Amino acid sequence: MADSTLKSDPTRENWKRVDAWLAEVLAGDDAHLRAALAAQRAADMPEIEVAPLAGKLLGLLVRMSGARRVLEVGTLAGYSTIWLARALGDGGQVVTIEAELPHAEIARANLDRAGVGERVEILVGRGADVLPRLEGTEAFDFVFIDADKESNTIYLDWAARLGRAGTIIVVDNVVRDGEVANEKTDSAQVQGVQAGLRMLADDPRFDASALQTVGAKGWDGVAIAIVTDARAEA
């Protein structure tokens, strides 16, 4: 009796157990993804990559949208980049931006080892500095924003400018242990997340929703948006 109650309580421990079970059943796992994470851990990089189920979801969204060109802001060690690049298949391209050169070097090795290196370009620098260099290139079909949260509005503006009507945008970490709903937060990161969500609501270039998630990475969430026809008039 006590046992069954425990098992169904939505405690942090139980979310993690369910997330691990779902990941084992659905997300799969392979030597290249494991090697990428091992290299990330060995380099003492922050353990903030997307969860396996989230990586798989990103890949599915890329496939569902028929995307050929993907932009990622925040490469880290390339774990999410591997999911995105695999989903594109031959002929697809990921441009991914990483602020820290040592991280970009680990990511380069991880992507090459995973066999997707030639479809991924890593641009090193802060997003706000690097994104303007992409102006005039072919439109991106899919954008994943997962970098410094303070800059989310800058990244969303560039996602609209570098995308087209119909471009899909996914923004990671929009719930932050529930802090997103705290209007009095003094965290610059949470304020950045809030500003990004308000921009998705108020700027006619976007239409968006958000999903809370629980699992290996605690209580967080993603916003999913589409670039609208209003982009042309913006």
Report the residue number whose CB is nearest to ligand DHB: 48
103 contacts 126 by C-beta, under 8 angstroms: no
48 binds ligand DHB (CB under 6 A): yes
188 binds ligand DHB (CB under 6 A): no
96 binds Mg ion (CB under 5 A): no
19 binds ligand DHB (CB under 6 A): no
98 binds Mg ion (CB under 5 A): no
**Which one of residues 40, 93, 173, 191 is an interface residue with Mg ion (CB under 5 A)?**
173
Smallest separation (angstroms) from ligand DHB to the CB of 46: 7
What is the size of the binding site for ligand DHB (CB under 6 A)? 4
Binding at 181: pick from Mg ion, ligand DHB, none (beta carbon under 5-8 Å per type): none
**Residue keyed to tokens 């079970």:** 21
| DSSP codes of every residue in 51-120 | PHHHHHHHHHHHHHHT-SEEEEE--TTSHHHHHHHHHH-TT-EEEEEES-HHHHHHHHHHHHHTT-GGGE
| Segment interacting with Mg ion (CB under 5 A) among 12-20, 25-33, 146-154, 225-233 | 146-154
Going by C-alpha positions, the residue among 119, 127, 124, 55 that lies closest to residue 89 is 119
* Gap between the Cα atoms of 98 and 230, Å rounded: 29
CA angle at 84 for the pair 82 and 90, rounded to the nearest 5°: 90
Binding site for ligand DHB (CB under 6 A): 48, 146, 172-173
Binding site for Mg ion (CB under 5 A): 146, 172-173
